[in-house]
């Protein structure tokens, strides 16, 4: 993996600018504020990719809310080789029973991780559970799960930035861009 010192050089195309993302997050926040008025909302963010989205989204919601963080192992990751099964690396820090949970995700592509997480979280008896994803890449979908709030539907390309990584790099880009093939083919 060859990473340029200036990360922007590894991006072939800016798919979503910082401004576009910001405007969409505000829009989502307003919609969620309306929909969850008077309810006990908990935002659950899935580390690490959704961290910037979570940070911006929670500040765009005007309601009182709780936040919580989860992390699950990813296929192919070094922490998972021993079992061959997805694992919860960081669980919720507070119960969600009886609360209205909104799962905040950076991107949904195959839906496999989301499918696992929803099954797991439903087992904790929340009052409701919905999904808010910044990016939806339907071309790769295996598990069809209704997404309640979607920022953008994106084409079938490998994207980085605004939390999305390749090899743990590029998360700090302020926009979402398409990674140059040279960056991952090397």
Q: Taking the CA atoms of the chain, what radius of gyration do you get in angstroms?
A: 17
Q: Is 167 in the site for another protein (CB under 8 A)?
A: yes
51 counts as binding another protein under rule CB under 8 A: no
Q: How far is the CB of 66 from another protein (least distance, A)?
A: 27
152: contact with another protein by CB under 8 A: no
Nearer to another protein, 97 or 144 (CB): 144
Question: Which of these is catalytic: 109, 136, 156, 165?
Answer: 109
Does residue 125 bind another protein (CB under 8 A)? no
Go through 168-178 and write b for each residue having 16 or more CB atoms within 10 A of its CB, e for each that does not: ebbbebebbbb
The residue among 52 and 111 lying less far from another protein, judged by its C-beta, is 111
136: annotated active-site residue: no
DSSP states of 88-121:
EEE--SS--TTSEEEEEEEEESS-HHHHHHHHHH
Rule CB under 8 A: choose which of 12, 80, 124, 174 binds another protein.
80
**Closer residue to another protein in complex, CB, 56/106:** 106
Convert 13-44 to b/e letters by CB count within 10 Å (16 or more is b).
eebbeeeebeebbeebbeebeeebeeebbbbb
Distance, CA of 137 to chain centre: 12
Count interface residues toward another protein (CB under 8 A).
Answer: 28
Q: Which residues bind another protein (CB under 8 A)?
A: 74-77, 80-86, 109-110, 112-113, 115-116, 139-140, 142-144, 156, 158, 166-167, 184-185
């Amino acid at each position: 993996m060859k990473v340029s010192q200036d990360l922007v050089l590894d991006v072939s195309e800016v798919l979503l600018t910082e401004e576009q993302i910001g405007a969409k997050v505000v829009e989502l926040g307003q919609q969620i504020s309306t929909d969850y008025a008077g309810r006990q909302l908990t935002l659950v963010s899935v580390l690490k990719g959704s961290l910037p989205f979570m940070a911006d989204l929670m500040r765009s919601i005007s309601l009182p809310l709780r936040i919580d963080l989860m992390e699950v192992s990813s296929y192919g990751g070094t922490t998972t080789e021993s079992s061959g099964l997805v694992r919860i690396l960081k669980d919720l820090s507070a119960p969600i029973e009886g609360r209205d949970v909104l799962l905040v995700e950076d991107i949904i592509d195959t839906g496999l991780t989301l499918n696992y997480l929803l099954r797991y979280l439903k087992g904790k008896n929340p009052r409701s559970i919905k999904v808010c994803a910044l990016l939806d890449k339907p071309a790769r979908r295996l598990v069809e799960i209704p997404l309640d709030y979607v920022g953008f539907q994106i084409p079938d390309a490998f994207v980085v930035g605004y939390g999305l990584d390749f090899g743990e790099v590029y998360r700090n880009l302020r926009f979402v861009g398409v990674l140059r093939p040279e960056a991952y083919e090397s």
